[in-house]
């Protein structure tokens, strides 16, 4: 793009050049590298502990789900076998009717 304001632009270029010279590249302090590695290590352990936390949560949820399935569905099914579903009176009545059928021969009337 063409620069329209020649004089102003030249002065601004000169100012930027002076700024570059007034802010030279600088050496890092002696703590720079130890602090950098400290931050790298802190983030690294933070990442691994957050992975551990995530895994622990996944296992906890899985364990709870399994406990609900076992407690709510499987245990009641095994606790009530069909043989004991009828009441004591029903069982006696059923037994009596079988006995009556055995005593009275088929086709005989009283």
Residues that bind other proteins (CB under 8 A): 1, 5, 8-9, 11-13, 15-16, 18-29, 32-33, 35-36, 39-40, 43
- Sequence length of the chain is 110
| Cβ at position 46, least distance to other proteins in Å | 11
Angle at 66 between CA 60 and CA 70, to 5 degrees: 145
| Cβ contact 9:3 at 8 Å | yes
Closest to other proteins by CB, 43 or 53 = 43
Closest to other proteins by CB, 40 or 101 = 40
Cα 68 to its chain centre, rounded Å, is 17
Closest to other proteins by CB, 28 or 103 = 28
| Cβ at position 63, least distance to other proteins in Å | 33
The residues, any chain, with a CB within 8 Å of residue 9's CB and separated by 6 or more, are 3
| Cβ at position 60, least distance to other proteins in Å | 29
Report the C-alpha gap between 31 and 10 in whole angstroms: 41
């Amino acid at each position: 793009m063409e620069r329209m304001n020649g004089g102003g632009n030249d002065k601004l270029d000169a100012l930027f050049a002076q700024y570059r010279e007034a802010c030279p590249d600088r050496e890092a302090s002696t703590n720079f590298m130890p602090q950098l590695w400290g931050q790298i290590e802190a983030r690294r352990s933070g990442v691994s502990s957050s992975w551990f936390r995530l895994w622990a949560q996944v296992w906890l949820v899985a364990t709870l789900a399994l406990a609900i399935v076992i407690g709510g569905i499987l245990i009641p099914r095994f606790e009530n076998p069909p043989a004991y579903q009828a009441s004591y009176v029903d069982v006696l009545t059923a037994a009596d009717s079988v006995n009556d059928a055995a005593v009275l021969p088929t086709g005989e009337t009283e």
